[in-house]
Amino acid sequence: MARPPRTRTVGPRLAPSPLACRGAQGLVSALLDDPLASNPDLAVQLESRRLGPAPPEALTIRHGDAAQPSPSEVQVPSKWLRETNAQVVEIVHGDVPPLESSFSALHLADIVVLVLSDSTLLSSKAAQTLLYNLHTKPNLLLALNCPDASPSASTSPLRTLQHQLDTLFPSPEGGQPAALAISTEQALAALEALSPSEPDQPPSYDAFQKGYIASRIPHLHQLLTTALIADSPASSTTGPTPLQLQTAHYVLSAALSRAAFAGAQVADSLTTASSALSALAQHAAEQKAALLASLGVEGSTGLVRVPADEQRASLAALDELFASRLEWYKLPYRVDDLHAEVALVVGGTFLPSFEKQLVFATARAHNAAQALSSRVDAVFASPTFSAAPRSTPLSPAAQLASLYSATLLNSLAQAGTASLSALSASPTSSTALSSAVSRRRAQITAPGGPTDLLQRRAQRAVVRSATFAASSVALAGAGEALGWVAQTGTSVGLGLLGVTLGAWGLQRAWGKAVRRFRKDVGERVVGGLEEDLGVRARRIAERAGYKAEVAVRLGEDKVRERRVEWEAFRATLRCIEERRRALVDETEVDAVAQPKKRIGA
């Protein structure tokens, strides 16, 4: 069985009564109330169809005996609905355009009657929105509702309406919709005169005939009846009627056109998101490079150089120690205190200012990470990433282009927390920049370190010097006692020479030990410190940009995934378009698909 023809009547909600009779509601009442077969039940049901506490915007009216099977549907015993096998959908909206569902119903309708007021015409935004969406639809009729539909009274509003149509649509495809002046006010007053609601008032046939014909509702009634049944052959019960095929072709063309427009919006949205992610990646790379430069990382070597004046100041303090309390001639009785003396000086003078600078540098890295995190949040706060299609009212194009992902946003939050936590670590933690100085400072005095090696060399030099001096004195004494030396002065000279040579050897060995100590501190300790700082600085820079890196990677994956989905959807649309063109090219369908003369033209 073919579906019933669908007629949509749309107009603004006019309040209070009696102005309500001049909208779509009054037109439907005038069309369905048959003066030749007056039915009290029909009049009552028509009057009460929108008396509920929350009447729907779109109300379906069909032939039947049940009063109101559902809130959005009413059945009335209408002879006209039974004869035409049609359904009437009454759409009554306020000062705003109808809902999206109502627009869908209007596009699917076989005939649409747009009720306009003679006082506003097309000046209201709701009327303009409706006409912009429906002006290419076949069988669209503009019903200009006037207080008086006579030619003398309605010519001026019709001329103004035609001028507005010419201005809004100078070159419309398929011609402009026909405009017809009607008066629901006159029609309902005439029907009231024929069947008075007051029992003591007799029917006035003259008033009915004069008012009903002057309202031009019979003319509109005849136009709709002709359009509904003229193209319906007897075989239409087994297939769609030409009117329905015409509507189907329009709906398919309109759907493909809207899909193409939505596709452009989707492509633009995805391009915008991709550009935002590229800009974010570029900004993160620039901030990372700036952060590495502020931390003192050399681009060629990747090391963080210790300032030369800081290094000279640290070595100068050690030189002062070796030239005063640890002078070579004091070693014999201070060699055991050497480790403690060096540790005392190193603990207070080894790069203290540089260590403070590194603490401030870590704070700068934390600020840079916060700035990058704010930039990431700003990018992902856009509706493309943040608006959930299931919980946020979005247009179909926005739903197709939506990159919302709860998993992605959760991953970004975790990445931001991990990044800031790593950069907020204590200066003494193993990942802080300043802790590298403390670690290398401790290495100087650690077991097996430069200080330990210096003490062992000093002890060995003292032992050798003392042994050489004692041996020389003993040899001189033995020579004098055994008569090997003729004179006492000679033996004393030999002893003093040995002591002098022992002292010279101690001084020379201590000087070599100090130079080796300086070399160990300058190369092993400071060089290792520079390498450690370079590694930690790069790690800190990576941590500062970790959230941005995760955001760019996950965002690009989401954009790539959505583009793949959109390409598959475009392929489906191309297939539908090819099939539509093939249907239009067929001879039988082509005859049906030819643009017909508009209703009322």
Residue 75: which CATH number?
3.40.50.300
Model pLDDT, residue 549: 92
Which amino acid is it at 52? G
pTM of the model: 0.65
In a domain, 164, yes or no: yes
Q: What would the mean pLDDT of 421-446 be, rounded to a whole number?
A: 80
Q: Are residues 210 and 123 in the same domain?
A: yes
Inform me whether the pLDDT recorded for 17 exceeds 50. Answer: no
Q: Are residues 34 and 115 in the same domain?
A: yes
Structural domain containing residue 168: 6-232
Model pLDDT, residue 592: 47
Of the three residues 182, 213, 232, the one that is the final residue of a domain is 232
Model pLDDT, residue 492: 60
Model pLDDT, residue 598: 62
Of the three residues 192, 208, 232, the one that is the final residue of a domain is 232
d(CA 75, CA 49): 10
Model pLDDT, residue 24: 81
* Core vs surface per residue 241-271: b (16+ CB within 10 A) or e: bbbbbbbbbbebebeeeebeebbebbeebbe
Tell which wins on pLDDT, 197 or 205.
205
DSSP for residue 9: E
Q: Are residues 355 and 450 in the same domain?
A: yes
Q: What would the mean pLDDT of 441-452 be, rounded to a whole number?
A: 89
Q: Are residues 48 and 161 in the same domain?
A: yes
Q: What would the mean pLDDT of 476-500 be, rounded to a whole number?
A: 62
Residue 137 pLDDT grade (very low, low, confident, very high; cuts 50, 70, 90): confident
Model pLDDT, residue 548: 92
In a domain, 601, yes or no: no
Model pLDDT, residue 238: 58
Who contacts 204 (Cβ-Cβ below 8 Å, separation ≥6)? 193, 194
Q: What would the mean pLDDT of 489-499 be, rounded to a whole number?
A: 66
From 1-15, 39-53, 114-128, 354-368, the region with the lowest mean pLDDT: 1-15
Inform me whether the pLDDT recorded for 80 exceeds 50. Answer: yes
In a domain, 251, yes or no: no
Q: Are residues 214 and 270 in the same domain?
A: no
Beta bridge partners of 73: 60, 70
Inform me whether the pLDDT recorded for 173 exceeds 60. Answer: no
Model pLDDT, residue 593: 46
* CA distances from residue 359 to 223, 305, 362, 435 in whole angstroms, order as listed: 87, 16, 5, 9
Model pLDDT, residue 234: 46
pLDDT tens readout for residues 241-293:
777 777 888 888 888 887 888 888 888 888 989 999 999 999 999 999 999 98
In a domain, 368, yes or no: yes
Q: Are residues 189 and 298 in the same domain?
A: no
Model pLDDT, residue 46: 76
In a domain, 572, yes or no: no
Q: What would the mean pLDDT of 397-408 be, rounded to a whole number?
A: 79
Tell which wins on pLDDT, 385 or 469.
385
Inform me whether the pLDDT recorded for 430 exceeds 90. Answer: no
Q: What would the mean pLDDT of 345-366 be, rounded to a whole number?
A: 87
Q: What would the mean pLDDT of 545-551 be, rounded to a whole number?
A: 91
In a domain, 558, yes or no: yes
Of the three residues 210, 232, 254, the one that is the final residue of a domain is 232
Q: What would the mean pLDDT of 588-600 be, rounded to a whole number?
A: 53
Q: Say which residue the tokens 């030396």 belong to.
A: 485
Inform me whether the pLDDT recorded for 550 exceeds 50. Answer: yes
SS (H, E, C) 214-253: HCCHHHHHHHHHHHHHCCCCHHHHHCCCHHHHHHHHHHHH
In a domain, 308, yes or no: yes
What is the tally of structural domains in the chain? 2
Let me know how long the chain is: 601
Q: Are residues 346 and 214 in the same domain?
A: no
pLDDT tens readout for residues 318-328:
889 888 888 88
Q: Are residues 75 and 193 in the same domain?
A: yes
From 50-54, 162-166, 267-271, the region with the lowest mean pLDDT: 50-54
User: Comparing C-alpha atoms, which of 218, 157, 226 is closest to residue 187?
Assistant: 218
Give the percent of the chain with pLDDT over 90.
7
Model pLDDT, residue 553: 93
Q: Are residues 76 and 177 in the same domain?
A: yes
Model pLDDT, residue 587: 37
Model pLDDT, residue 512: 92
Inform me whether the pLDDT recorded for 426 exceeds 70. Answer: no
Q: What would the mean pLDDT of 473-480 be, rounded to a whole number?
A: 62
d(CA 193, CA 175): 39
Residue 489 pLDDT grade (very low, low, confident, very high; cuts 50, 70, 90): low
d(CA 549, CA 551): 5
Q: Are residues 471 and 555 in the same domain?
A: yes
Q: Are residues 207 and 308 in the same domain?
A: no
Neighbours of 560 (CB within 10 A): 12
In a domain, 479, yes or no: yes
Inform me whether the pLDDT recorded for 519 exceeds 80. Answer: yes
Q: Say which residue the tokens 């062992």 belong to.
A: 456
Structure-block tokens of residue 522? 């300058």
Model pLDDT, residue 54: 75
Q: What would the mean pLDDT of 34-56 be, rounded to a whole number?
A: 73
Model pLDDT, residue 274: 92
Q: Are residues 171 and 97 in the same domain?
A: yes
Model pLDDT, residue 1: 44
User: Rounded mean pLDDT of the chain?
Assistant: 80
Q: What would the mean pLDDT of 42-61 be, rounded to a whole number?
A: 77
